[in-house]
Amino acid sequence: MNTAPTRSLLADAPRLAVLSLAALVVLAPYLFMLSASVKPGGEIFQASLNLWPRHFYGWENYHKALTAVPLLRFLLNGAIVCAIVLFFQLLFAVPCAYALAKLRWPGRGLVFALVLLGLLIPAHVPALPLYVAFAKLGLLDSFTALTAPFAISVFAIFMFRQAFKALPDELIQAARLDGMGELAIVWRVILPNAWPTATAFATFSVVAHWNDLFWPLIVIQRQSMATPALGVLFFRSQEGGNDIGALMAASVITTLPMVAAFLLAQRRFIQGVATAGLKG
């Protein structure tokens, strides 16, 4: 009789218990949000903790969340902003990372040091001069104001550079022997071989800009231009912050696309994060 699987399960039991406890702690706020989104207001802050409501109030809460403010419009705005930002980040970061990883030229080390330095600068530092510039150009309340400051990502350059360093030089040499130019090598050879890294970065980028409240709160005044996080704030203001059930329903609707996207991309996301750290 083979007892190896049983012994392995027993050996892994403490680790699985710790991971399960950590997962429960992380998921607890989301579970509370889901539970509150289907409860009437009177049940949410009761002394007894019941995840399932005694009186199901989900239809009313979600209907109010979708009709009190144009929540679907906020989701569309968020998708547009994330798509534009990701497109330009990849457009600039992938060739830059290739040049830093695979091409030999004077000053390459200094430029990479500046990229690392750029990782240390918080997004809040250039916020005021950027706001003044967009205000003088008349670009507030626009997709340009929401996306332009993030078109170049030093984190993307760093992440792709690390991934490209792990690719064999023979792959590039073979492409050159076939007559391919450097840009063709970047987009047709290098990037397809670093697809897990691209997926991982896309996940980071989309989640960050979907959930971003700081910058949209500065440059957006019109409700019709609000992104998901700012849209929830508009909903809270519209309702006076009193209808917690409907507010939780709006929060569930705005976070659900990111949860679904991460679950679909989680395998490539983990591969990309692991690949990006293979070489220095």
Closest CA to 197 of 167, 155, 159: 159
Full pLDDT tens readout for the chain, 280 residues: 455 555 576 777 888 888 888 988 888 888 888 988 998 877 887 777 777 888 888 899 999 888 888 999 999 999 999 999 999 999 999 999 999 999 989 999 999 999 989 888 888 899 999 999 999 999 999 999 999 999 999 999 999 998 899 889 999 999 999 889 999 999 999 999 888 889 889 988 999 999 999 999 999 989 999 999 999 888 887 765 678 888 899 999 999 888 888 788 777 667 666 665 544 5
Helix, strand or coil, per DSSP, at residue 276: coil
CA distances, 276 to each of 149, 153, 167, 197, 201 (Å): 24, 16, 11, 7, 10
Number of other CB atoms surrounding residue 36 within 10 Å: 24
In DSSP notation, 42-67 reads HHHT-SS--SS-SS--HHHHHHHHHH
Closest CA to 146 of 134, 157, 164, 137: 134
Which architecture, in CATH terms, is 60-275?
Orthogonal Bundle (1.10)
C-alpha–C-alpha distance, residues 248 and 232, integer Å: 9
| pLDDT tens-digit map of 15-73 | 888 888 898 888 888 888 898 899 887 788 777 777 788 888 889 999 988 888 899 99
Helix, strand or coil, per DSSP, at residue 152: coil
Cα torsion for 96, 101, 105, 108, to the nearest 10°? 80
Say which amino acid occupies 111: V
Tokens of 201: 């970065």
Q: Looking up tokens 């929401």, which residue turns up?
A: 146
Closest CA to 228 of 81, 87, 84, 83: 81
> Could you give the maximum distance between any two Cα atoms of the chain, in Å?
78
Say which amino acid occupies 77: N
Cα torsion for 247, 253, 258, 260, to the nearest 10°? 140
Helix, strand or coil, per DSSP, at residue 280: coil
C-alpha–C-alpha distance, residues 213 and 233, integer Å: 9
Tokens of 194: 């670093």
C-alpha–C-alpha distance, residues 265 and 196, integer Å: 9
How many residues are recorded in the chain? 280
Closest CA to 150 of 104, 253, 99, 219: 219
pTM of the full structure: 0.85
